[in-house]
Amino acid sequence: MASFSTNEIKPGMKVLLDGDPCAIVDNEYVKPGKGQAFNRIKLRNLMNGRVWERTFKSGDSLEAADVLETDMSYLYTDGEFWHFMKTDGSFEQFPADKAAMSDALDWLKEEESYVVTLFNGNPINVMPPNFVELEVVDTDPGIKGDTAQGGSKPATLSSGAVVKVPLFVNIGDVLRVDTRTREYQNRVR
């Protein structure tokens, strides 16, 4: 497996640390004028999202991680795994376990496209698109004409997510939601 020298490591690169795949967040070069040079490297562990900071001697190298981010569309769940298929025409399918699904579970929709991170060929993380359109399956009845500001209520979406929506929203409406902030954007229909 290839490796990267601390001198060439840049944010975004994927490396192995303690066996886990990590994304480089920052690489700071530190050198006392007359002393040994060090690199302080901040990494996000892709398995659990934790950010680590480690110090290396400049010139040390880190093993590259076989990490690939691919667009895949969501197919179905069998209760234990969530199945995705590559959108490049290969029809190749990948099962993601619950740990990999933590960011996406609330925003699942069949045939929607997700970014699946593969580590050694296995899904370790599934990211939803920034915006998804989902149908409201449960909420208090809408208040007609109330399109003014102020007032919100919880609504349950078809994916199971509960988000705050304006009072005029009804069951059956399709809403556009920002998956990063869980915020209602607008009513699509």
Gap between the Cα atoms of 10 and 41, Å rounded: 10
Both structure tokens of 40 = 């302080």
Name the minimum Å distance from CB 53 to other proteins. Answer: 6
Interior/surface letters 6-17, b for 16+ CB within 10 angstroms, e for the rest = beebeeebbbbe
Gap between the Cα atoms of 98 and 79, Å rounded: 9
Q: Which among 109, 120, 125 has a CA at the least distance from the CA of 160?
A: 109
Name the minimum Å distance from CB 30 to other proteins. Answer: 5
Using the minimum distance from each CB to other proteins, give the nearer residue, 57 or 180. 57
Using the minimum distance from each CB to other proteins, give the nearer residue, 28 or 97. 28
For residue 62, the surrounding DSSP H or E stretch is strand 61-63
In the sheet where 51-57 sits, what is the strand order? Answer: 14-17, 20-30, 38-45, 51-57
Site string for other proteins, 3-22 (x = CB under 8 A): ----x---------------
Indicate which single residue of 16, 25, 37, 105 sits in contact with other proteins (rule: CB under 8 A): 37
Instruction: Write out the binding residues for other proteins, residues 39-78 only, by CB under 8 A.
Output: 40, 52-59
Number of residues interacting with other proteins: please give it, by CB under 8 A.
21
Using the minimum distance from each CB to other proteins, give the nearer residue, 30 or 99. 30
Q: Choose one: 26-34, 124-132, 166-174, 175-183; the region binding other proteins (CB under 8 A).
A: 26-34
Q: Which residues bind other proteins (CB under 8 A)?
A: 7, 28-38, 40, 52-59
